């Protein structure tokens, strides 16, 4: 049905005749498609002079499997089917996989469901819908539970989510890979006026914007390369110096001393000229925890 609605407009009656199913099942399928692709995925148009509607997927959501697909597009289709909580879509996963493979001769051994999660969260943020994190594994409480959220921002290469938790009435950060599934609800977000924009640093920490801390430190070539590999976002804050032994300097903003502190302490003798003094105090405090 997604394939057909990507190419053509249909009335509900036409879909009933085409698929030989009841009207209620058509609307159930519409709800499933909205769950998979996003609540705003349909163009709904009135036929002139009637009270009948036609339905077609908006171009952004259209999927034409008959055309050559990029690997990313193929992964998206398969991960949506595989990760869906709909039993019907999970049942057809192998068939979809086989058909796409026969069209493109691609290898589907490693389809990652994180694509589906990113897609759903991005659309929920764009169109202002609440979401549910299903079976989220919280490392702080060591519990698995569901979260009802108003999503506000994705960061850390779309791996982390900043959202308002409707149960605790607090803004929190979530790692979306820790959720078994993500559902887009039909509820509109209502608390965005109370949202305070956050700053996300390259070490994975966040703070309210304007509360970020400016730091700098010089590094050897080895420590700079490790920093770039471990925290790719740090690259934009790294520049060259004129010193032969410490040819790189990190100069930028962070949200918390914890992340950068862990990095510096893991590089003894390979980082120098650390600023500001409060960062040095933090490093001494953390180092003393292991000495005494």
pLDDT in tens, 12-50: 998 988 888 888 888 888 888 887 777 888 988 888 767
Comparing 242 with 60, which gets the higher pLDDT?
Answer: 242
Q: Which of 94-98, 126-130, 209-213 is predicted with the least confidence, judged by mean pLDDT? A: 94-98
Q: What is the predicted pLDDT for the residue at 81?
A: 60
Average pLDDT over residues 63-91: 59
Q: Is residue 116 over pLDDT 90?
A: no
Q: Is residue 83 over pLDDT 80?
A: no
Question: If you average pLDDT over each of 95-99, 135-139, 202-206, 271-275, which comes out highest?
Answer: 271-275
Mean pLDDT, all residues of the chain = 81
CA distance 147 to 163: 10
Provide, rounded to the nearest whole percent, the portion of the chain with pLDDT above 70. 78
Q: Is residue 146 over pLDDT 50?
A: yes
Q: Which of 154-168, 209-223, 266-280 is predicted with the least confidence, judged by mean pLDDT? A: 154-168
Alpha-carbon torsion, ordered 125, 129, 132, 137, to 10 deg: 20
Q: What is the predicted pLDDT for the residue at 111?
A: 33
Q: What is the predicted pLDDT for the residue at 269?
A: 94
Secondary structure of the chain in HEC code, one letter for each residue: CHHHHHHCCEEHHHHHHHHCCCHHHHHHHHHHHHHHHCCCCEEEEECCCCCCEEEEECHHHCCCCCCCCCHHHHHHHHHHHHHCCCHHHHHCHHHHHHHHHHHHCCCCCCCCCHHHHHHHHHHHHHHCEEEEEEEEEECCCCEEEEEEEEEEEEECCCCEEEEEECCCCEEEEEEHHHCCEEEEEEEECCCHHHCCCEEECCCCCEEECCCCEEEEEEECHHHHHHHHHHCHHHHHHEEECCCCCCCEEEEEEECCHHHHHHHHHCCCCCEEEEECHHHHHHHHHHHHHHHC
Taken in order of first residue, the domains within the chain and their CATH numbers are 2-61 (1.10.10), 71-104 (no CATH), 115-195 (2.30.30.100), 206-291 (3.30.70)
Comparing 151 with 138, which gets the higher pLDDT?
Answer: 151
CA distance 75 to 253: 35
- The answer, as to whether pTM is greater than 0.75, is no
Q: What is the predicted pLDDT for the residue at 62?
A: 75
Q: Is residue 10 over pLDDT 80?
A: yes
């Amino acid at each position: 049905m997604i394939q057909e609605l990507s190419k053509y407009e249909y009335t509900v009656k036409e879909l009933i005749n085409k698929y030989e199913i009841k009207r209620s099942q058509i609307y159930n399928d519409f709800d499933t498609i909205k769950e998979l692709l996003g609540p705003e995925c349909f163009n709904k148009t009135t036929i002139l002079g009637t009270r009948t509607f036609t339905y077609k997927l908006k171009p952004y959501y259209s999927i034409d499997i008959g055309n050559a697909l990029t690997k990313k597009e193929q992964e998206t289709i398969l991960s949506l089917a595989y990760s869906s909580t709909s039993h019907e879509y999970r049942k057809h996963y192998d068939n979809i996989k086989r058909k796409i493979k026969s069209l493109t001769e691609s290898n589907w051994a490693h389809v990652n469901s994180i694509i589906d999660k990113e897609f759903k969260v991005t659309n929920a943020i764009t169109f202002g819908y609440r979401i549910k994190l299903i079976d989220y594994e919280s490392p702080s409480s060591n519990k698995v539970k569901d979260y009802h959220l108003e999503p506000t921002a994705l960061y850390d290469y779309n791996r982390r989510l900043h959202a308002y938790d409707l149960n605790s009435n607090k803004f929190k950060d979530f790692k979306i890979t820790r959720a078994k599934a993500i559902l887009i609800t039909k509820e509109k977000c209502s608390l965005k006026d109370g949202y305070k924009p956050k700053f996300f640093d390259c070490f994975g920490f966040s703070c309210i914007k304007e509360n970020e801390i400016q730091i700098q430190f010089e590094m050897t070539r080895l420590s700079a390369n490790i920093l770039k590999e471990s925290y790719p976002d740090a690259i934009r804050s790294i520049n060259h110096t004129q010193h032969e032994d410490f040819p790189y300097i990190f100069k930028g903003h962070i949200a918390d001393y914890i992340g950068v502190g862990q990095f510096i302490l893991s590089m003894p003798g390979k980082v120098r000229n650390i600023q500001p003094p409060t960062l040095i105090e933090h490093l001494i405090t953390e180092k003393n925890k292991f000495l005494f």
